[in-house]
Amino acid sequence: MSDFSTWDIIRNLLLAARWTVVLSLVSFIGGGVLGVILLFLRIGKFAGACAFARYYVELFQGTPLLMQLFLAFFGLGLFGIDVPAWLAAGLALIFWSAAFLMEIWRGCVDAIAKGQWEASASLGMGYFQQIRYIILPQAIRIAVPPTVGFSVQVVKGTALTSIIGFVELSKAGTIVTNATFQPFTVYGFVALIYFALCWPLSKSAQVLERKLNVAHRNH
Amino acid sequence: MSLIEITEVRKAFGDNEVLKGINLNVEPGEVIAIIGKSGSGKSTLLRCINGLETINAGSIAVAGAQLLPDELHLRALRLKVGMIFQQFNLFPHLTVGGNVMVSQTVVKKTAKDQAEGMARKMLDRVGLGHKFDAYPDELSGGQQQRVAIARALAMEPIALLCDEITSALDPELVQEVLAVVRELAAEGMTLIMVTHEMKFARDVCSRVVFMHQGRVHEIGPPEEVFSNPQTAELKQFLGML
């Protein structure tokens, strides 16, 4: 057994944590873009598109993220398509984030009083003008805190991708444990790194919520 | 030809028929008060004129423009008819000036400085020129409603629909809003207002429409309707007040 110093453990974990960060960013940004598209389908006027967005969300919120990862990784393999772990992980997390983000944002759009739609309509605005100038500016303000809050879920969600063999922070923890036989120390550090990633996000969601609320009251 | 022609308009929410064949012609410059019990269909009628509710049968035309449920026709009609709501419905993320400017710049593509000039003029008209940079939540209810009137006027409509515009106000704020409406009426603006302010209706309106169970039950000049009601329902309604 080779000797692992504490520094070796931390260094290896930190190197792997880069992939956790990258995967989180890709999932969050990709999910955000897809979420916006779904949102417009959902609140738009085409019944078919609206139903598609609704079923999409129900499907992805109604199944565990782990199953989605398995299906992306092994499912495509059944058709002879060789999916690398990073691709399966990225795709599954993007689809999963999109479902949740769209649902968060839809709630924010719904929270805008009906009178705002009616007043802007009575002034002659068309649907897209209403969205662009009246609804979204108000909805975005209330959407920021829960969106930042959800980013914490994305970071923690990336841990599941270790199961399909993507080497991020959790997987690195397992590998290092197998080499050092110090599970408590290693996973303790793993947890600390996750916390260091997530805590600032939670905190900033809180700060943003307070700031934007104050802004809404007094401008 | 009348300015607003409402012909045999019917509207139902599910099985509940709220408007059962309404006929009403409004001439330019007329001030119409619609009175009646809650549930008599008066607000629904007003909302139908502006296309906020789609009608099931009949027709509505404003200055020759037919009310059709597609966005192009609706927008053309809404440029002619402004609407003021019970709950003001100002845009909270914009300043008072921004509220009055946004529809001009977005819908009419008016240049910004021109829209600002119009906004200042209309805000002066309702006595709120000095509040141009304030946000709606810094204003009293009466002031907010006056901004809403300025916002509608800035689009230069040929008629205004007022849906119980003083009902959400504290009693001491009602008069400042009514004073603005009175002035508009004096200037010849065509107004259709659903109201509970009977004294105001008597003083300012050219005709009063009494609605009962989805029909126009009585209609006539205010002195006739208020002093000499023909039907038992109107007598009862006026007696209640």
Nearest CA in chain B to A128: B106
Percent of chain A with pLDDT over 90: 72
Rounded Cα distance between B240 and A80, Å, is 80
B50 Cα to chain A: minimum distance (Å): 7
Look at chain A and count its residues. Answer: 219
**A133 contact residues in B (CB cutoff 8 A):** 102, 106
Order across the sheet with B31-35: list the strands: B81-84, B159-163, B190-194, B31-35, B207-212, B215-220
Domain ranges (residues) in chain A: 6-216
Rounded Cα distance between A209 and A219, Å, is 14
Tell me the pTM: 0.84
Contact indicator for B95, B114 with CB cutoff of 8 Å: no
| Interface contact B57, partner A, CB < 8 A | no
| Interface contact B155, partner A, CB < 8 A | yes
Question: Coil, strand or helix: which one is A105?
Answer: helix
CB pairs < 8 Å spanning A and B: 65
Rounded Cα distance between B164 and A203, Å, is 45
Question: Coil, strand or helix: which one is A3?
Answer: coil
User: Is A157's pLDDT higher than 90?
Assistant: yes
> Cβ–Cβ of B155/A217 closer than 8 Å?
no
Please, where are the H alpha helices in chain A?
A: 6-43, 47-61, 65-70, 76-78, 85-110, 114-122, 127-129, 136-157, 169-180, 183-218
> Cβ–Cβ of B93/A118 closer than 8 Å?
no
> Cβ–Cβ of A124/B155 closer than 8 Å?
yes
Picking from B79, B85, B135, the nearest residue to A119 by CB comes out as B85
pLDDT of residue A81: 82
| Interface contact B87, partner A, CB < 8 A | yes
Mean pLDDT of A192-203: 95
B93 Cα to chain A: minimum distance (Å): 6
User: Is A213's pLDDT higher than 80?
Assistant: no
Mean pLDDT of A29-38: 96
Q: End-to-end CA distance of chain A, in Å?
A: 63
User: Is A218's pLDDT higher than 50?
Assistant: no
pLDDT of residue A28: 97
Picking from B78, B92, B135, the nearest residue to A123 by CB comes out as B78
The confidence band for A80, taking pLDDT boundaries of 50, 70 and 90, is confident
Contact indicator for B110, B118 with CB cutoff of 8 Å: yes
Nearest one of A75, A126, B171, A103 to A134, comparing CA atoms: A126
pLDDT tens digits for range A93-133: 999 999 999 999 999 999 999 999 999 999 999 999 999 99
> Is the C-alpha dihedral spanning A93, A95, A101, A107 positive or negative?
negative
User: Is A219's pLDDT higher than 50?
Assistant: no
What ipTM does the predicted assembly reach? 0.91
Nearest one of A132, A194, A150 to A168, comparing CA atoms: A194
Find the chain A residues whose C-beta atoms sit closer than 8 A to any C-beta of B.
Answer: 113, 115-116, 118-127, 129, 133-134, 137-138, 141, 216-217, 219
Mean pLDDT of A179-203: 94
Rounded Cα distance between A85 and B76, Å, is 56
A37 Cα to chain B: minimum distance (Å): 23
pLDDT in tens, chain B (241 residues): 789 999 999 999 999 999 999 999 999 999 999 999 988 999 999 999 999 999 999 999 998 888 888 888 888 899 999 999 999 999 999 999 999 999 999 999 999 999 999 999 999 999 999 999 999 999 999 999 999 999 999 999 999 999 999 999 998 899 999 999 999 999 999 999 999 999 999 999 999 999 999 999 999 999 999 998 989 999 999 885 5
The domain at A6-216 falls in which architecture?
Orthogonal Bundle (1.10)
pLDDT of residue A214: 57
Contact indicator for A17, A169 with CB cutoff of 8 Å: yes
Q: Cβ atoms within 10 A of the Cβ of A84, count?
A: 12
Q: How many CA atoms lie within 13 A of B170 on its CB side?
A: 7
What type of residue is B198?
M
pLDDT of residue B240: 58
pLDDT of residue A216: 54
Residues near B187 by Cβ (< 8 Å), separated by ≥ 6?
A: none
